[in-house]
Amino acid sequence: MSDRPGISVLDRPNSYIGRTVERPNARRLVQGRGAFVDDMKLPRMVHLAFCRSPYAHAEVVSIDKAEAEALPGVIRVVTMEDLKDIMTPWVGVLDHLKGIKSAEQWPLANGKVHWQGEPVAAVVATSRAIAEDAADLVMVEYNELPPVTDMMTALDPETPVIHKELGDNLCFERNVDEGDVDKAFAEAAFVAEETMRFNRHTGVTMEPRAIICDYNPADEVLTLHMAVQCPHMSKNLYAKHLGLDENKVRVICKDVGGSFGIKIHTYSDEMAAGAITVLLGRPVKFVADRLESFVTDIHARDHVVKARMAFNAEGEITALDMDDVTGIGPYSVYPRTSGIEANQVVNLTGGPYKHRNYRCRARVVFLNKNVMCQYRGVGHPIAVAIAEHLIDRGAVALGLDPVEIRHRNFIPDDAYPYTAPSGAIYERQSHHQCLDKLVEMMDYKGLRAEQAALREKGIYRGIGFVSLVEVTNPSPAFYGVGGARIASQDGCTIRLDPTGGITCITGVTEQGQGTETIVAQIAASAVGVSMDNVRVITGDTDVVPYGGGTWASRGAGIGGEAALQAGKELRKNILKVAATILQSDPEALDIRDGAIIDADTGTERMPLSELGRIAYFRGDTLPHDVQPELVVTRHFVSRGFPFVFTNAAHACHVEVDIETGMVKLLKYWVVEDCGTVINPLLVEEQTRGGVVQGLGPALFEECLYSDEGQLQNGSMADYLVPMAAEMPDIVVGHVETPTATSELGAKGVGEAGTAGAPGAVMNAINDALGSFNVSLADMPFTPEKVLRALGKV
Amino acid sequence: MSGGNAMEKTYPVTVIVNGTPMTALVPARLTLADFLRNEAELTGTHVGCEHGVCGACTVRVDGRTVRGCLTLAVQCDGAEVETIEGATEDGRIKDLQDAFIERNALQCGFCTPGFLMAADELLNDNPSPTREEIREHLSGNYCRCTGYQAIVEAVEMTAARRRGEAQ
Amino acid sequence: MKAPSFEYAKAESVDEALELLGRFGDDAKVIAGGQSLVPALNMRLAGPSALIDIGAIGELRGIKLDGAVMRIGALTRHCEIMASGEIARHVPLLAKAVPNIAHEAIRNRGTIGGSLANADPAAEWPACSLALGAVMEIAGQNGRRKVSAADFFQGYYTTAIEPDEILIAIEFPVISADYRSAFMELSRRKGDYAMVGLAAHARVSGGVFNDVRLSFFNVADRPVLAVSAAAVLEGKEMSVQAVEQAQQALGDDLDPLGDLYCSPEYKIRLARVLTGRVLSQLAAG
């Protein structure tokens, strides 16, 4: 066989690893033949719309549903009273986030509403339009309560407590104090200090959240057609809270119109849909409309961070000290909690650098706003922006180039594996190499010369850098140890079909990022067939191996490794059968392009279709002691390190109009190291998309709340998502440092772009305006904020 | 009948959908996008915002692109409507679709039919668009996955190929 | 997000449209391109009893040069104005403004009359019509009447059109050779409504400004002519000083309200920046 010593399966002839290949599932999507949840109709299906709270905080005095129920086409109006006996509430806490607390949450208002948009009553009707007509007719009497909307005063004794039973508005607090921070600051040559704001924003998946819940009372099976990242997690939660046999809950996830961390959480309206199908015994469809999305899809970030960084005279960071407050909603989101975001800020701030003195306090507070939870990049954009802003301030003060100061501070290449003062453990990173390559790619010297020349003409351009670490390939340390039934392992089953093709069935899921493609590439390479002969099946819990799905950039690293091991094992099994048929030695044979060949000469001996024919239909011709096993399942869980960190270096080039404050993005560069690159084009496009999802909140996106807790820009027209005309070209380069935790060596790449971009654009703007002695650190950088910083408004 | 209740008044419309006349009784409030999805069962036209911003429901009416969510089905009585399914069958945009796949100009694919309809119109109006013109023309369509560059390049590539320039 | 239920009637002629408006009463609304009305319906911000569709009335369509007047039918779509060589030649301000209106698919469907009748203070056409001194032709049960742009816009989404009337056409004066137009808006993203915009029109001969009309939009409840700034510029040549004086005078002309993303002070600031940039354009020709 070809993976004898020295020849990895990755280097096999005709390997697809490292090659750009087309995505097999793309053709149906370009023809409008995808299968999104809202495209489906089921017999007797009914539609849901919700009557939602217009207030951020209020008691529900009464609900009158008579007029709504009288409307022709309305089947039922459901309130919490109707659901209490058929389901249980949930609480978003995890054991390993010490002290985290939250209140019991129900699918519909249980006497009180805690944010604008919280579902109060569900209307079931024969069409969505009628359900909406009736939702307008549900008469709810509220008694308004004072809302808690300012995270900075949420913990003050005079502020009302949102959930009396919790005692205060503190959800979670974590403190780290490593080394001697005070001494380092006392001895510092320079201290950079800033209060930074990270705006609340949201995911705006193009396909809103969508679910069809279909309960069949005869066999007590609940089928959920969902746009979701983690089918098995949903299976568990619906069974648990509806009191159903988990074995009889099936989640089917076909095409998903973008997720980014939105479609991974427990949503009241979706749980209500699950309860209502059980109540009615017929399929119930709920598709959030865009206005509902803005007030119910999880929001992201919302931090105020006071941070300072100490430097010695050589520009080395000697300490980092910070205080982070995160404003979440009235609940910690179930089951992943709203504490993970702040936890990541604590874990990762200053990650690339070698300082040993680190103090951090992070507090997560409840507010009467929509819930906040894990969104693409979880905590990383904050962690990256804090350190990268402060290090740039140090560079300016100490007269160092931003590239040079980073090189002086990176963890030395020979120090790995390295444990950061936060406790994060890095297997191996390539910060120096990434930054060197970045500087070369972007023609840094040329840009600086151009910047100086244009400055003479009154044109203000700036260049901003960030270096970052990114959590990928999580082990059970992420959720499993905290008691959540969220799998960090994943499995892949590969079957040789009688045609000679293979079918891969995987627990990781496709949200558009290309999971199916890379699984196919890996399986094709490992078995020895062409991509044309690979089919990949994902998303159906009745079919796929138990797995975690899509989160924390794990698809390629975890799901890919499972596919690799399954493929290798299947190849072994195939060669055993082939050796019997061909009266040869398995060691002397190999599989290439769908045929058994002589390993040494490459001569074709038998197509796989012939082997399949014999194995499946003419087993009588094989010796009695040979039982072909042409289906193999392998699982993989990352061990050795809690997470496998990737790293990257970014640079952003902007021009600031100092008359209007408008920022024009000129260009963007990324050099990323996600270990083994399975498909360069997919890696680059994940990076580009991720960068734009970081540029958006840095310049445009913000959920604007009034002091009364009203979302003021909850429509596509008012909430500004990046559009084509304003986004820059993004150049992507690679450095490959494969992880030794798996044979494949792949790390994740889906989130690193989002992690770096806000910091990079912030640094670029500050670089452009350096001569004005301003420091912008309050995202998003709207034109008005820029002009205000310049003192022109 | 989608979108209406049993008491609601309906209006007869005949819409020529991808070349085939289709007659239906529809409530006045039914949008063209919902008509196409629910009555004609052409689900390639996607609904992303229902207030005319995201562009996922872009279809052609009488030869020009429109927002399917900002057009009422009753307004389209007698009109010719083309959806992504029709444009695909026509074969006119095959090269554009191929370029989207080759360049990975789609990830989740939800916005893609709208982008293809918009890009098709651009390339008909302007066979040699600059990158800036492409970006500007496509700025009425949101994509949340790609960051747009791949889409711009797929359109640019198609234009070049149509002009006979190798790319 | 489905619209509430309403009735629908399609008019084949102006008379029929007026008759239908009379029949359905004040709660009925006229629909032209629907690009502002349908989003409002879908978001349930509007709940008319009926829509009167005037889309099939041929008389309301088309661009016609008639001596010194360019008559544009109310149903003329933005894309038709964009494609018109006659408009570009004779009323260039409109040609300069139209690419700023939303996006292609909206311009393909939206109409100039619909935009004017909707009277969004952030929209382009109201400001252009005010800058050029356009005249709106309105039809009602008692015949037709003409209203100048200055009298037409009466507040947020409010015009001189009575509930039983419809807008028929807009007449723009054809520009004479010594007049120049400039249009500029500052928006966060291409196709967005402007934070502040400026439609400008002036006679520029021998480098001297006369009859300057600076029409600002999205600064008040309707487009605003900056008369003080214009007075400052009257008879002056382009100079740093003249621009600064005009920018200063804007303080008398504009008293903007803030919105979601811009404070009143910022809007004033942008109006001044636009004034400088637009005057440079006018001076440069």
pLDDT higher than threshold 50 for residue A660: yes
User: How far, in Å, are A48, A276, A282, A541 from residue A269 at the CA level?
Assistant: 9, 10, 17, 22
Token representation of residue A184: 């380092």
Q: With the CA atoms of B96, B97, B99 and B103 taken in that order, what torsion angle do they form, in degrees rounded to the nearest 10?
A: 140
**Average of per-residue pLDDT values in chain A:** 96
Chain A residue whose CA is closest to B150: A685
State residue A636's pLDDT score.
97
Residue range B128-140: mean pLDDT, rounded: 97
Token representation of residue C16: 């029929």
DSSP code at position A81: H
Q: What are the two backbone dihedrals, phi and then psi, of residue A494, each rounded to the nearest 5 degrees?
A: -125, 135
Tell whether A23 and A118 lie within a shared domain: no
Q: Which residues of B touch A133 (CB under 8 A)?
A: 5
The whole-angstrom distance between A660's CA and the closest CA on chain C is 6
Test mutation, A27, A31, A67, A732, chain B, max B CBs within 10 A: A31
**Total length of chain B:** 167
Q: Is B29 on the interface with C (CB under 8 A)?
A: yes
Q: Do A787 and C4 touch (CB under 8 A)?
A: no
For chain C, residues with pLDDT lower than 70 are none
In the block, residue with structure tokens 């661009």: C63
Read off the CATH number of the domain in which A629 is found. Answer: 3.30.365.10
Q: Is C260 on the interface with A (CB under 8 A)?
A: yes
Q: Do C261 and A784 touch (CB under 8 A)?
A: yes
Answer whether A569's CB lies under 8 Å from A633's CB: no
Q: Which residue among A615, A636, A657 closes a domain?
A: A636
- Please give the distance of CA B50 from its chain centroid, rounded to a whole number: 14
Tell whether A615 and A655 lie within a shared domain: no
Nearest to A793 among C4, C5, C266 (CB): C266
A128 within a domain of the structure (yes/no): yes
Tell whether A543 and A655 lie within a shared domain: no
State residue C285's pLDDT score.
79
Q: Do C1 and A784 touch (CB under 8 A)?
A: no
pLDDT higher than threshold 60 for residue A420: yes
Residue from A715, A47, A705 nearest C43 by CA:
A715
Nearest to C55 among B66, B75, B118 (CB): B75
Tell whether A427 and A566 lie within a shared domain: no
Chain C residue whose CA is closest to B76: C55
Residue range A625-635: mean pLDDT, rounded: 97
Tell whether A460 and A540 lie within a shared domain: no
State residue B6's pLDDT score.
61
Q: Is A258 on the interface with B (CB under 8 A)?
A: yes
Q: Which residues of A touch C267 (CB under 8 A)?
A: none
C156 three-state secondary structure? coil
State residue A13's pLDDT score.
77
Predicted structure pTM score: 0.97
Q: Do C190 and A290 touch (CB under 8 A)?
A: no
pLDDT higher than threshold 50 for residue A4: no
Q: Do A720 and C270 touch (CB under 8 A)?
A: no
User: How far, in Å, are A119, A197, A203, B103, C195 from residue A712 at the CA level?
Assistant: 19, 19, 17, 38, 17
Could you list the residue range(s) of the whole structural domain that residue A239 is in?
37-145+208-256+262-296
Q: Is C194 on the interface with A (CB under 8 A)?
A: no
Q: Do A32 and B108 touch (CB under 8 A)?
A: no
Asked if residue A417 has a cis previous peptide bond (ω within 30° of 0), the answer is: yes
Matching CATH number, B10-87, of 3.90.1150.10, 3.40.50.10860, 3.10.20.30, 3.40.50.300: 3.10.20.30
State residue A646's pLDDT score.
97
pLDDT higher than threshold 80 for residue B4: no
Q: Which residues of C touch B61 (CB under 8 A)?
A: 109
Q: Do A727 and B147 touch (CB under 8 A)?
A: yes
User: What is the b/e burial string over C178-198, where b = at least 16 CB atoms within 10 angstroms of the residue's CB?
Assistant: ebbbbbbbbbbbbbbbbbbbb
Tell whether A570 and A678 lie within a shared domain: no
Q: Is A228 on the interface with B (CB under 8 A)?
A: no
Asked if residue A107 has a cis previous peptide bond (ω within 30° of 0), the answer is: no
Euclidean distance between CA atoms C218 and C224, whole angstroms: 9
State residue A7's pLDDT score.
52
Euclidean distance between CA atoms A729 and A732, whole angstroms: 10
Residue range A2-28: mean pLDDT, rounded: 79
- Pairing between β-strand A663-673 and β-strand A210-216 as defined by DSSP bridges: unpaired
E strands in A692-754: 729-734
Token representation of residue A411: 């963890």
State residue A635's pLDDT score.
98
Tell whether A684 and A537 lie within a shared domain: no
State residue A19's pLDDT score.
95
pLDDT higher than threshold 50 for residue B1: no
pLDDT higher than threshold 90 for residue A459: yes
A182 within a domain of the structure (yes/no): no
How many C-beta neighbours within 10 Å does residue A380 have? 28
User: What residue ranges do the domains of chain B occupy?
Assistant: 10-87, 91-162
The whole-angstrom distance between B126's CA and the closest CA on chain C is 13
Q: Do C266 and A713 touch (CB under 8 A)?
A: no
Residue type (1 letter), A416: Y
Q: Is A791 on the interface with C (CB under 8 A)?
A: no
Q: With the CA atoms of A722, A724, A728 and A733 taken in that order, what torsion angle do they form, in degrees rounded to the nearest 10?
A: 100
The whole-angstrom distance between A296's CA and the closest CA on chain B is 15
Chain B residue whose CA is closest to C10: B75
A400 within a domain of the structure (yes/no): yes
State residue B126's pLDDT score.
97
List the 13-52 stretch of A: residues with Cβ below 8 A of B: 22-23, 26-34, 36, 38-39
Q: What is the pLDDT of residues B11-27, one digit of tens each?
A: 999 999 999 999 999 99
Give the pLDDT band (50/70/90) at residue A752: very high
Answer whether B116's CB lies under 8 Å from B84's CB: yes
Q: What is the pLDDT of residues A777-793, one digit of tens each?
A: 999 999 999 999 999 99
pLDDT exceeding 90 applies to what percent of chain B?
Answer: 95
Tell whether A318 and A463 lie within a shared domain: yes
- Pairing between β-strand A46-52 and β-strand A284-287 as defined by DSSP bridges: parallel
pLDDT higher than threshold 70 for residue A2: no
| C-alpha angle A455-A461-A463 in degrees, rounded to nearest 5 | 130
Token representation of residue A384: 């990256």
CB pairs under 8 A between B and C: 95
Tell whether A288 and A340 lie within a shared domain: no
State residue B140's pLDDT score.
95
State residue B7's pLDDT score.
77
Tell whether A291 and A308 lie within a shared domain: no
pLDDT higher than threshold 80 for residue B166: no
Instruction: Say which CATH architecture domain B91-162 belongs to.
Output: Orthogonal Bundle (1.10)
3-state helix, strand, coil in chain B (%, to 5): 40, 15, 40
Nearest to A787 among C44, C191, C266 (CB): C266
Q: Do B146 and A685 touch (CB under 8 A)?
A: yes
Bridge partner residues of A664 (DSSP): A655
> Does the interface predicted TM-score (ipTM) exceed 0.95?
yes
Token representation of residue A465: 């850098």
How many C-beta neighbours within 10 Å does residue C212 have? 26
Tell whether A528 and A581 lie within a shared domain: yes
pLDDT higher than threshold 90 for residue A6: no
Euclidean distance between CA atoms B53 and A133, whole angstroms: 24
Q: Do A133 and C4 touch (CB under 8 A)?
A: yes
How many C-beta neighbours within 10 Å does residue A531 have? 16
Euclidean distance between CA atoms A471 and A386, whole angstroms: 17
Test mutation, B14, B50, B132, chain C, max C CBs within 10 A: B50
The whole-angstrom distance between C261's CA and the closest CA on chain A is 8
Tell whether A517 and A413 lie within a shared domain: no
Answer whether A543's CB lies under 8 Å from A533's CB: no
Q: How many domains does chain A have?
A: 3
Chain A residue whose CA is closest to C266: A793
